[in-house]
A and B are shown apart, each in its own frame.
Chain A
């Protein structure tokens, strides 16, 4: 019997049908994680809180796009942020989620430096919530430790399918964080079960692949990016094991973010742009509606996305700056279609 190996061009052909924008996969995975969390992990999240977060997040995005005359940019990043907020933030009121979503999305348009938004919107939103808004908290233990395998597989899938170019930061961060935890285990003479316990922490993996990896809020060049990942990992370990405070990952990222503009200034590099194009409005809305409000609606055929080879295809508004609008310095591979 002959075993046929899938020809390389078949893989290339298959990729052709896949969306070029990594955020499409990000949204799908986040939506899947959210659904898993709500249905299987007893997330204390009310469907209405989620609906309101999405409503407010999208409305805020729409508001800023209109105000800045950037209407064609779409809503993908808003959906990613709202998924992230729903995954992380817990509240015993209905108004906290929409308020935080609005704050998070606004931060993207208001807190800008060198043509990039400064903070990862979900990170900014969560910190704003737990420091300023009463009745909000983050449950770092909510994932437990047995979902890890599934998350690992998802991540591998993401890497293969999206060829995401700046995922290096995720691996460096994970390596550094787990390395420091391992060092602590050795120094204290603890059981290695503690290390495995940390490795299987769903919240850690989620942070590494979906928050710190946001290409718009990390240094543009590889060297500084790796240094940045090491700094965040060290800060997180310090926060958790020296200060004994909860939510180490989120705080470490928040506190380290001001370093990004500095690193970009010291080591200039071309800003990232989401490659390919995004499907505006309706499709992403449905993508999250599936998980968000547990609707069973199936996305109907959406029109072929308008492809735009320039950096303007970014969903992020490009404000006057010396770097913005420049094409990405390191396209991993030429886009197969649309050229």
Chain B
């Protein structure tokens, strides 16, 4: 018998409110021991970018893990306007290490208490060729013939930087080659859309003499600050010489909420699950397998969220949150004043703020995005938006060590060991599902047998 509509509607309201009442139990607080992490070093060819954005102000830091002859290093980035020298800065590689360590996927472990204890616990698991660039006048006319205008040239740190505008992509490609930049073939086709959008090009290569002066054997990150309506990352150029899938880790620092992509799916990686305890020794291997399996399952078309947290604290902490100075070094310009302040001397990191304490709440949110892609699966540059979402998320995996007492110690003990056996089977299946590893092998390593199938009648007359 259908109710009159209004009654039915009110009944529905009442039902929903009842559900709210049940759901309103407070979320369990996390308490576990942080035991390990899987940082970006695991992914050898991962590019790392720190993307700081508030309003239309943007600071991008790019880490160059360039392996090889420094004279062959070349970086070409489309930028919205001609950058002044003061908009370009050399960052500290430590910033990347710190932000990576802080936001890395982590492992936490628990130890089951004695089931015989009267005080029954409440388990709360949440669980470019550096041939010296000729600046001669004849060069200028050559540039013009190619449709390329050198808007500015700077030497910043170990980099020789040129800001170019171009009218024609073949001309730009040719110019870059003439200047000695090693540009992959097919570059002009990829450059063209940017030229037609009136974007400028930030091109950098290593000034070997300056590089020698720095005394570092590696390249330091390049940072640039600018204003633009576009909240995006031009990744297409980087795919020109791609062999197989590439990895990109974006650390997005925002003021209000989580950052996600608007033109691709942004999905949280499967996390907060219990794993067999043996994964403790091979967490890195586990995480790599998990990331590969999940990315493949989504056909490399998903941007994964690995971490989203308010920068003031962490729980459990894979590393201390970044200090205000470190955040400034990363490009965060809204701390202690409204003006962009990226000119912080590298290497001035102070001891970190303690979780929930120190300098108090910092209005900085970190979203760690990780994607594995191929040129086919990422046809369009990444577009982002800052959401209002402030719900923390971390890729955290849980180990639970069983109590190792006598199965006959008390009445509760056999029941406890039954539960442990079931739990271990679940853990084995979770691990197999997440990583694509063989379930039988997992069971062998865990020293457990496949769970004997209990027939329903056995449970009936037990």
Contact = CB atoms under 8 A, between A and B. Distances in A.
A156 B299 CA distance: 27
A188 B231 CA distance: 19
B390 A135 contact: yes
B379 A196 contact: yes
A51 B6 contact: no
A92 B393 CA distance: 12
Nearest to A243: B229
A42 to B, nearest CB: 5
A66 to B, nearest CB: 7
A189 B192 contact: yes
A94 B266 CA distance: 22
Contact of B267 (A42, A62, A194, A280): A42
Contact of B389 (A52, A56, A92, A188): A92
Interface in A263-313: 280-283, 285, 302-303
Nearest to A129: B388
A56 B9 CA distance: 9
B5 A280 contact: yes
Contacts of B8: 281-282, 285
A62 B301 contact: no
A261 interface: no
A115 B4 CA distance: 26
B265 A142 contact: yes
B20 A61 contact: no
Contact of A75 (B9, B197, B379): B9
Interface stretch (B89-97, B255-263, B399-407): B255-263
B264 A194 contact: no
Contact of A140 (B262, B299, B379): B262
Interface string B367-391: 0000000001001100101011111
A47 B383 CA distance: 29
B136 to A, nearest CB: 32
Contacts of A244: 228-232, 383
A74 interface: yes
B196 A144 contact: no
Interface string A167-201: 00000000000000000000111110110110001
A281 B5 CA distance: 4
B45 to A, nearest CB: 23
B26 interface: no
Contacts of A302: 2
A54 to B, nearest CB: 7
Interface in B375-429: 376, 379-380, 383, 385, 387-391
Interface of B: 2-6, 8-10, 12-13, 15-17, 19-20, 23, 169, 189, 192-193, 196-197, 228-232, 257, 260-268, 299, 301-302, 376, 379-380, 383, 385, 387-391
29 contacts: A48-B20, A52-B16, A52-B20, A55-B12, A55-B15, A59-B13, A61-B9, A90-B387, A92-B390, A92-B391, A135-B390, A137-B385, A139-B387, A140-B262, A140-B263, A141-B261, A141-B263, A188-B197, A189-B189, A189-B192, A189-B193, A190-B193, A194-B379, A197-B380, A244-B228, A244-B231, A246-B385, A285-B9, A285-B12
Given A74-B5, A190-B193, A243-B229, 10 more contacts: A41-B265, A48-B20, A52-B16, A59-B12, A66-B6, A71-B5, A90-B389, A137-B387, A140-B385, A280-B5
The 10 closest A-B pairs by CB, nearest first: A281-B5, A193-B379, A282-B2, A137-B387, A55-B16, A189-B192, A58-B9, A144-B265, A55-B13, A188-B193
